Structure 1
Amino acid sequence: MSPSIRIDEGYHEYWGWDSWHRSHEVQLSGENHRTAHFHPNWSNGTAGVQATRPLTHSWHYWEIHISNRVFGTSMMFGVGTKASRLHEDAFVNLVGVDDQSWGLSHKGLLWHNGKFRMFTKPFVEDQSTTVGILVDMEAGTLSYFKDGKYLGLAFTNLHKTDRDLYPFVSSTAAKTEMTLGTRKRSFQNLQDRCRFAVLRALQSEEDIDVLPTANKLREFIRSGLY
């Protein structure tokens, strides 16, 4: 059964991958560091990177476009705390290797606290794929989508962790690439919804500077872009 959350009604976000919370084997590029390049020369371990923004509202949804180089020991997609490991000099399932992260590997396995279970069919190797992740922070659940198809509920009780969670990906395979696509979240309140309406009506960020309103309100509107 698909989740009851209306993803199409969410607030568009523009966060990217975090240059401070990544393996040295991850290079970032694109607007707001949307693209993560793993092991640009060759691979001798596992590299991970987390997002710049924590999952703090009721629900969040984001998509990860994986290049057609889907192969290797482990390519993973999920969430983790800032205490998560971001690099290992070995080929491991990094997202879920301990109790600080939860992830799905391209081999169809769910990992958390070093344990795994079968969840879905392995991804077809050497074929581009889009993974969607839906986290409901109020319910404490994480669900996955693949190429627009709902795969099901993967993890529960995420709301019981005492640390913020961040989107988290990793790869063992050389010269692989993951790019953020759609990023949405629920509206926090009426003010949040109004900010979204204003941003949607503007043509560019520069238009915020000429809005006939107070500087403090302009900065609040601008903060919706990041």
Structure 2
Amino acid sequence: MEENETTLPLQNGCDDQWIWNRWERSPDVKFFGRTYRTAHFHINWSAGTAGVRGTRILNNGRYFWELRITQRIFGTSMMFGIGTKKSKLHANSFTNLFGQDDQSWALSHKGLLWHSGKTYSYTKPFQENQSTRIGILFDGIAGTLTYYKDGECLGVAFSGLNEIKEPLYPVICSSAARTAMTLSSMKREFVNLQDRCRAVIVKKLRCRSSIDKLMVPAGVKCYLAEAIVDEIQPFKPMYRNICNSIGSL
């Protein structure tokens, strides 16, 4: 199918900025460079299943992200979905890592949905050894998770997610050697006008250090910094009350 970005959701939202969490991953997941957007699984050979968690907290918002999967689609399980901090990220066996308990919801490359140890047929198995784009739409308001394959909507996969109180994060895993998944086309819905204005400003800023040069209050700087991914200098607010005060500006 020809790539057609107009078929993707949240195109009127803003670009989202998050990465794979280098601290919350299996030892068999590797990153190269400073972008942390491409996760490499089992770079030499595989003896189990490796997963990694994203840095984006999803609850109460609407988010869309795409995964570009390398041509090496094969093996016991390659999975894409969401999970809490309690979801496992490594197994010393070839298994469907996510969906074995109530802490994660995922789709496998075999077209099956997994949650709470139960599996459901959802779509056709992915064609092996052919690069694929998998889109994931999380709607925290409606409480649904919907998948897209090469720009085509596959329908709602999971519901009731708005009732989950634990923070939810994007997750991926693979049991196959020398496989990789890359984040792309990340979008999120605007929360309000203030959020929309921030999105316009951060497009002009290359990194968080650029914020220090702006002649704006400390609370505004903190609010802007939260929207910029800086892999070299992760955001750590010195005064949380300053960040929280932005809502009153």
Alpha carbons 1:14, 1:32 under 8 Å: kept: no
Q: CA deviation at 1:58?
A: 2.1
Work out the number of aligned pairs and report it.
221
Match 1:199 to one of 199, 202, 216? 202
2:139 to 130, 136, 140: 136
**Aligned position for 2:188:** 185
Where in structure 1 are there 5+ consecutive unaligned residues? none
Q: Deviation per CA, 1:139-177, whole angstroms, max 9, x where unpaired?
A: 110000011111111000111222111000000000100
Give identity over the alignment, percent.
Answer: 50
1:56-95 equivalences under 5 Å are 56-95=59-98
Q: 2:215 aligns with which of 209, 212, 217?
A: 212
How far residue 207 of structure 1 moved from its aligned partner, in angstroms, is 4.8
Q: Taking structure 1 as the reference length, what is the TM-score of the superposition?
A: 0.92
Structural RMSD (CA)? 1.6
| TM-score relative to the length of structure 2 | 0.84
2:225 alignment partner in structure 1: 222
Aligned-pair CA distance for 1:214: 2.7
Cα deviation digits, residues 109-145 of structure 1 (max 9, x gap): 1111111111111111111111000010111100000
| Post-superposition offset of 1:216 | 3.3
- Larger displacement relative to structure 2 (203-212 or 156-165): 203-212
Residue type of the alignment partner of 1:138: I
Deviations 1:166-205 (A, max 9, x none): 00000000010011011111112221111012223x1633
Query: 1:204 is aligned with what amino acid?
Result: R
Change (3 A) 1:128 1:223: same
Secondary structure (helix, strand or coil) at the match of 1:180 reads: strand
| Partner AA of 1:84 in structure 2 | S
CA contact (8 A) 1:15 1:32 kept: no
- Distance (Å, rounded) in 1 between the aligned partners of 2:226 and 2:138: 22
The answer on whether the counterparts of 1:77 and 1:104 sit within 8 Å (CA) in structure 2 is yes
1: CA distance, partners of 2:86 / 2:59: 17
The answer to which structure has the higher strand fraction is: 1
The one-letter code matched in structure 2 to 1:71 is F
**Secondary structure at the counterpart of residue 163 of structure 1:** coil
2:184 is the alignment partner of 1:171: no
Which residue, out of 95, 99, 102, partners 1:96? Answer: 99
Q: CA deviation at 1:221?
A: 1.5
> CA–CA distance in 2 between the matches of 1:124 and 1:111?
19
Partner Cα separation in structure 2 for residue 106 and residue 117 of structure 1: 13
> Any gaps of 5 or more consecutive residues in structure 2?
1-7, 230-249
Contact 2:72 2:130 in 1 (8 A): yes
Closer, same or farther: CA 96–30 of 1 in aligned 2, 3 Å: farther
What is the CA–CA distance in structure 1 between the aligned matches of 2:161 and 2:139, rounded to whole Å?
9
Q: Give me the whole-angstrom Cα distance separating, in 1, the residues matched to 2:32 and 2:135.
A: 21
Cα deviation, residue 209, structure 1:
3.8
Q: Distance in 1 between matches of 2:89 and 2:205?
A: 38
Letter in 1 for 2:25: R
Letter in 2 for 1:40: I
Is residue 51 from structure 1 mapped to residue 54 from structure 2 by the alignment?
A: yes
- Partner Cα separation in structure 1 for residue 158 and residue 25 of structure 2: 24
Asked whether the 8 Å contact 2:60–2:162 carries over to 1, the reply is no
Distance 2:17 2:65 in 1: 10
